[in-house]
């Protein structure tokens, strides 16, 4: 038996639910089991159980907020762009094989790619403490989170728009204004594409995006026409994105 697989009884204890509940979740597609045969015993991947019992957004927030950064679980840490690409390809493959995402899996992976690549493109050689990004996803809960402890959008865009004076202004520009097609301005263009996919493009699923840089944040959903910036009760250096689909 694969050492990463655990029996249904152990999975139930970890999640503090009954075996019957796990069977119902399996049938509904909320937490899928693994079986050697169609009628065989149910087993679960350890990582799926760990992710199902955790709050990925809370994990990411705790990491970006800390003055002294905590170590990232290696399974979530992409230290460079090549590692991120490999894990993004794996995500895309998993999305493609998920029932109901056959027509939209590429849209999900494309916005994840835009956000993650922005972190690398605009912080390369200038990471403030930890190099790379936190990239985690839960296919059962349909959630994806990306975060970096980099310079943030304001510092990035001030290189070409020196009049920007706040995180809120920079966030608004990044999601609404096409600056140019030349580096390092591509952050603004990439996030404008992310907004287009989330709010306007025709698809069979709905998407939601929470995005924060510094002290400013926004929420986007299907059909949203306007950008509304708000201020969470915490701030940090870098960027944080949480996608639900």
- C-alpha 121, offset from chain centre: 17
Identify the domain containing residue 128 by its residue range.
Answer: 56-244
Are 5 and 46 in contact by the 8 Å Cβ rule? The answer is: yes
Q: Does 152 lie in the same domain as 83?
A: yes
Query: Which segment of 49-63, 152-166, 185-199, 225-239 scores lowest on mean pLDDT?
Result: 185-199
Q: Does 102 lie in the same domain as 159?
A: yes
Q: Does 132 lie in the same domain as 16?
A: no
Q: Does 197 lie in the same domain as 147?
A: yes
Q: Does 64 lie in the same domain as 9?
A: no
1 confidence band (pLDDT: 50, 70, 90): very low
CATH classification of the domain holding 17: 1.10.1660.10
Are 156 and 243 in contact by the 8 Å Cβ rule? The answer is: no
Q: Does 105 lie in the same domain as 22?
A: no
- As a residue count, the chain comes to 245
Give the integer Cα–Cα distance in Å for 206 and 27: 23
Of the segments 3-12, 50-59, 236-245, which one has the largest average pLDDT value? 236-245
Confidence (pLDDT) at 163 = 94
Q: Does 184 lie in the same domain as 104?
A: yes
DSSP codes of every residue in 5-24: EEEHHHHHHHHT--HHHHHH
Helix/strand/coil for 168: helix
* pLDDT above 70 for 238: yes
Percent of the chain with pLDDT strictly greater than 90? 67
Q: What backbone phi and psi angles, to 5 degrees, belong to 190?
A: -65, -45
Q: Does 37 lie in the same domain as 73?
A: no
Q: Does 137 lie in the same domain as 45?
A: no
Q: Does 82 lie in the same domain as 34?
A: no
* pLDDT above 70 for 2: no
Q: Which residue, among 223, 210, 48, has the nearest Cα to 145 in the 3D structure?
A: 210
Number of domains in the chain: 2
Of the segments 25-34, 68-77, 158-167, which one has the largest average pLDDT value? 158-167
Q: Does 136 lie in the same domain as 20?
A: no
Q: Does 17 lie in the same domain as 98?
A: no
CATH classification of the domain holding 214: 3.30.565
């Amino acid at each position: 038996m694969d050492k990463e697989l655990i029996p249904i009884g152990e999975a139930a204890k970890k999640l503090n639910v009954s075996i019957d509940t796990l069977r119902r979740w399996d049938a509904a597609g909320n937490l899928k089991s693994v079986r050697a045969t169609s009628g065989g015993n149910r087993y679960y991947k350890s990582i799926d159980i760990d992710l199902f019992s955790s709050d990925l957004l809370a994990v990411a927030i705790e990491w970006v907020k800390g003055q002294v950064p905590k170590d990232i679980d290696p399974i979530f840490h992409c230290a460079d762009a090549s590692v991120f690409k490999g894990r993004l390809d794996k995500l895309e493959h998993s999305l493609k094989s998920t029932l109901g995402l056959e027509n939209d899996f590429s849209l999900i992976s494309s916005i994840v790619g835009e956000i993650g690549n922005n972190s690398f493109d605009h912080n390369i050689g200038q990471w403030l403490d930890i190099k790379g990004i936190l990239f985690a996803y839960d296919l059962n809960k349909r959630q994806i989170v990306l975060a970096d402890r980099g310079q943030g959008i304001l510092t990035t865009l001030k290189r070409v728009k020196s009049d920007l004076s706040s995180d809120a202004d920079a966030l608004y520009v990044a999601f609404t204004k096409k600056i140019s097609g030349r580096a390092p301005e591509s952050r603004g263009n990439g996030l404008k594409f992310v907004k287009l996919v989330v709010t306007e493009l025709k698809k069979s699923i709905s998407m939601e995006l929470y995005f924060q840089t510094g002290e400013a944040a926004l929420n986007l959903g299907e059909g949203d026409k306007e950008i509304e910036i708000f201020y969470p009760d915490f701030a940090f250096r870098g960027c944080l994105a949480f996608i639900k689909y």
